[in-house]
Amino acid sequence: MFLKHILSTGLLFCLANGAPVSSTTPSPPTASELNDPNFGPIPGLSSYYSDYRGKEAPFPAKNATPIQNTTSGPAGVDDLLFQNLLAAEWVVYSFYQQGVEAFNKSSFVDLGYPNTTWDSIAEIRDNEAGHLRLFQDSISSNNIKPGPCSYDFRFKTDAEAFLGLQNIIEISSMSFLTGLVLQAQLDSSKGALTAIGLTETRHEVWSLIEIWNVSPFAGPADTSFPYANQILDVTNEFVIPGSCPAENPPFPSPSQNLPRLTITDNTTSFNPGDEVELEFEFNPEYQVNTEYYTVYFHGLFNISVPFDTQTNLTTIPSEFEAKGVIIAVIADEIGAPSKESVVAGPLFIFQQPTSLNSL
């Protein structure tokens, strides 16, 4: 669908310029070409994933369909992980691509942001396109490589809203990449996930310094949350229902389909020690005679607080340092020791910039 859109845009451009619609229009690459890691610019070798400044989708996003398997045989041991990650990366990449398309240099300069803002957004978009390619290359040709859905990030023409959401996207990326390391079988996958998580951190640090003018530091450790697929599931919030290619595998897989957790609008402060009121996307499957807890993760630590399922009020542990991100879930066991113990969430609570609050 997306590909069709790009092609028809290209066609309109030709017609408007009076150029003949010739047979030289390059045909889209084949699945065999796209399954070859040497096809197209190679991340880490080519500067394309840093320097491209077009508004049109870069490679490999301009070939926006699932890539069919060209061989059959057993799945690679980390194929499922990278299929999940590629589907999540389509969300992240598309966020930046929509920003590159919706805004220009003056959109940000007019709001008082540095004159390099659009350029940096475009460079991050390029990095994310490189991630798409890296994740495609990490899935064996025995397996399908998911294509993009349609996404609604709700920032429309509001550049400020875009910049706010950018923090949420980057911090959740940092968190799910950290969690996915626990699922990886191959050492090479663990290294790749760590390296890409670090790149997302650089994107986040850029924004904290350049855009928000706050300290980029988050204490000695960012937050390690073990159930990466629960975070991936939250990114489905941006997917327009029914818009995913039919060939795409389910995302994420496996999924617990937990209700998303948010903080109600009438909560105004989100610091350690503050009481907040939680809201659920749909009612969690509470069991009778069971104690529930809000389990808060920060750094490498977690703290459980009994959760009152009647009032939905909970207090962010005052023990935590007010820096970085706190991730919270509702669980039926202290410490949420298994993913099955989680009944709702995760919820992200940001400590900086303070003008942002939660996802």
How far is residue 4's CA from residue 266's CA, in Å, rounded to a whole number? Answer: 44
Of residues 250 through 279, those in contact with ligand NAG by CB under 6 A are 264-266, 277
Nearest alpha-carbon partner for 351 in 273, 288, 266, 284: 273
Crossing angle for the helix pair 159-180 and 187-206, to the nearest 10 degrees: 160
Are 41 and 59 in contact, with CB atoms under 8 Å apart? yes
Q: What would the x/- binding string for ligand NAG be over residues 15 to 54, using CB under 6 A?
A: ----------------------------------------
Please select the residue that binds ligand NAG; options are 62, 255, 280, 333, rule is CB under 6 A. Answer: 280
Q: How many residues does the chain have?
A: 359
- Nearest approach, Cβ of residue 107 and ligand NAG (Å): 6
Tokens representing 350? 């940001």
Query: Which CB atom, from 91 or from 325, has the smaller least distance to ligand NAG?
Result: 325
Q: Is 290 in the site for ligand NAG (CB under 6 A)?
A: no
Tokens representing 82? 């990278």
Question: Rounded to the nearest 5 degrees, what angle is found at the Cα of 252, between the Cα atoms of 250 and 253?
Answer: 70
DSSP code of 279? E
Please select the residue that binds ligand NAG; options are 226, 255, 271, 305, rule is CB under 6 A. Answer: 226
Please select the residue that binds ligand NAG; options are 312, 322, 323, 353, rule is CB under 6 A. Answer: 312
Q: What would the x/- binding string for ligand NAG be over residues 182 to 221, using CB under 6 A?
A: ----------------------------------------
- Nearest approach, Cβ of residue 159 and ligand NAG (Å): 10
How far is residue 114's CA from residue 105's CA, in Å, rounded to a whole number? Answer: 9
Residues that bind ligand NAG (CB under 6 A): 69-72, 104, 106-107, 115, 226, 264-266, 277, 280, 283, 302, 311-312, 335-337
